[in-house]
Amino acid sequence: MSHGISATITQLSYLLAAGLFVFSLRWLNRPKTARRGVGAGVAGMGLAIFGTLLHPEIIGYGPIVIAALVGIAVGIPLSRVPLTAVPQRTAISHAFGGLAVGLVGTAKYMLWLGDGSLNAFRTGVICAEVILGFLTFTGSLMAAGKLQEVIPTRPITYPGQNFVNLGLLLIALGAGIALTLDPTRSFLFPLIILLSLTFGVLLIIPIGGADMPTVIALLNSYAGLAAVMMGFAMENKLLITAGALDGASGLILAIIMCRAMNRSFTNVLFGAFGQVQAAAGPAGEAKPIKSATAHDAADYLANSARVVIVPGYGMAVAQAQHRVREIYDELTKRGVDVKFAIHPVAGRMPGHMNVLLAEAEIPYDSLIEMDEINPEMPQTDVTLVVGANDVVNPAARSDKSSPIFGMPIIDADKSRMVLANKRSMNPGFAGIDNALYTADNTLMVFGDAKAVLGEIANALRAEGKAAA
């Protein structure tokens, strides 16, 4: 009897957990209620774990407790990484998610194989679970390596790459189907694992840093789908619900990222963007570059009414967000209207810039999306570009031969003046020349973003004091 009661409690806590997960995401729709969303998520997860621990099949808690303690010990430091490293942390977390799903699938397969309860349905979903889990595992590890720059971030390509990748995936799927048709062909199972692990690595090798936001979102989606498959294998509806929420989230983010680059999934995954740059534009029209000192830049900024700051990955690399905040403070003090123009793919993951600027305590109502800020650009006196490149490249609007043609950009060039901070004149991540830097209304401010912006902030401060 008590079995029946504990099974009911388990089912009820799973049901509540599923509801709480939906609310958790629902509350994330705006900053005011977002932290409540975390609370709901924690409560849901707590209930799910509680309900699971009541399962009558569990005969010993030792391994669970030890593994959980180690997990907590690793998880806490992972949550304290600097915010510039959040994309890597996210990728590692996708890898762990994929690993967990893959291992459970493997264990389940072997147990069922052993006790003879392996049927076609179980084999089929376990194959899907294991393929998704393990390719997410190695793919995400590769993505994390590229983001941390322990692996070269430039796309690595070779002839026939797409053929090899697709071939591997097809062989893995074929082996899965063959195994499903006859679950006794168990020799195929290790092959499927091996192929999925390899496919994950090969899938990410040709992908460049600028495409990371899309790829991270896609891997997020795969991790969710893998959990869905685990739900089917274990006949657990909570797993299906939570996995589907995660899968939907990753997919939506990936679609938003693709739209923001005017590209398709297939193009991101198989396009090897920015590898070969065909002779860009008509040759030999080296336009002169005008540059300004940090002092000049401070003057221009101080004497304007409306300033828009366009941050990019360069700001994150240089950890310059706190210098940006100083400039923001000095200008706001003078009554200058300062806004931030956020391109959806600026940075290395969706929303990356918003988090960095929030960390620097810039109020979120100053962070404006691309579509909202663009109509205001012609009335902007000075646009300050900090470590952004492709997202402000006017070639995306005008130059049909440019690889980024058609990508929506922030219309920095339409403002009255552009101050662009860059380390040097090397082309940006995608390896594309940027016409913005040679435009008549652009002044380049060369140097490390953190140092240059610090100088601008100091100049503004000194001038403010002198005036007072």
Partner 1 sequence: MAELDLSSMLFVLMLSTFVGFQVIQNVSRLLHTPLMSLTNAISAIAVVGSIIIAGEQKDALSTWLGAVAVFASVTNIVSGFLITDRMLKMFKEREPKR
Catalytic positions, please? Answer: 390
CA distance 219 to 414: 36
State the nearest-atom distance from the C-beta of 421 to partner 1, in Å.
Answer: 23
Closer residue to partner 1, CB minimum distance, 281 or 351: 351
Site string for partner 1, 145-164 (x = CB under 8 A): --------------------
Rounded to 5°, angle at Cα 429 from 426 and 432: 65
State the nearest-atom distance from the C-beta of 39 to partner 1, in Å.
Answer: 9
What's the gap between Cα 76 and its chain centre? 21
Question: Which residues, 340 to 369, sit near partner 1 by CB under 8 A?
Answer: 342, 344, 349-352, 354-355, 358-359, 361, 363-367, 369
Number of residues lying near partner 1 (CB under 8 A): 111
Using CB under 8 A, which of the segments 195-203, 221-229, 264-272, 450-458 binds partner 1?
Answer: 221-229
Does residue 97 belong to the site contacting partner 1 (CB under 8 A)?
Answer: yes
Closer residue to partner 1, CB minimum distance, 29 or 401: 29
What's the gap between Cα 205 and its chain centre? 17
State the nearest-atom distance from the C-beta of 324 to partner 1, in Å.
Answer: 14
CA-based nearest residue to 345, from 259, 265, 222, 247: 259
Kindly tell me which residue out of 215, 253, 384, 452 binds partner 1, with binding defined by CB under 8 A: 253
Question: Which residues, 33 to 72, sit near partner 1 by CB under 8 A?
Answer: 34-35, 37-38, 41-42, 44-45, 48-49, 52-53, 55, 57-61, 63-64, 66-68, 70-72
Using CB under 8 A, which of the segments 106-114, 151-159, 272-280, 452-460 binds partner 1?
Answer: 106-114
State the nearest-atom distance from the C-beta of 366 to partner 1, in Å.
Answer: 7
DSSP 330-348: HHHHTT-EEEEEE-TTSSS
Does residue 223 belong to the site contacting partner 1 (CB under 8 A)?
Answer: yes
Is residue 30 a contact partner of residue 72, using CB atoms and an 8 Å limit? Answer: no
Q: What is the per-residue burial (b if ≥16 Cβ within 10 Å, else e) of 242-267?
A: bbebbbebbbebbeebbebbebeeee
State the nearest-atom distance from the C-beta of 293 to partner 1, in Å.
Answer: 31
State the nearest-atom distance from the C-beta of 450 to partner 1, in Å.
Answer: 19
Who's near 88: CB < 8 A, 6+ residues apart?
Answer: 81, 144, 147, 148
Does residue 124 belong to the site contacting partner 1 (CB under 8 A)?
Answer: no
CA distance 355 to 32: 15
CA distance 462 to 6: 70
Q: What are the backbone dihedrals phi and psi of residue 339, each rounded to the nearest 5 degrees, phi first?
A: -130, 160
DSSP state of 416: S
CA-based nearest residue to 360, from 314, 306, 300, 316: 316
Does residue 120 belong to the site contacting partner 1 (CB under 8 A)?
Answer: no
Does residue 76 belong to the site contacting partner 1 (CB under 8 A)?
Answer: yes
Which tokens in the block code for residue 81? 């990484």
Count of C-beta atoms within a 10 Å radius of residue 152? 12
Does residue 215 belong to the site contacting partner 1 (CB under 8 A)?
Answer: no
Site string for partner 1, 14-33 (x = CB under 8 A): ----x--xx-xxx-xxxx--
Does residue 210 belong to the site contacting partner 1 (CB under 8 A)?
Answer: no
Site string for partner 1, 290-329 (x = CB under 8 A): ----------------------------------------
Does residue 135 belong to the site contacting partner 1 (CB under 8 A)?
Answer: no
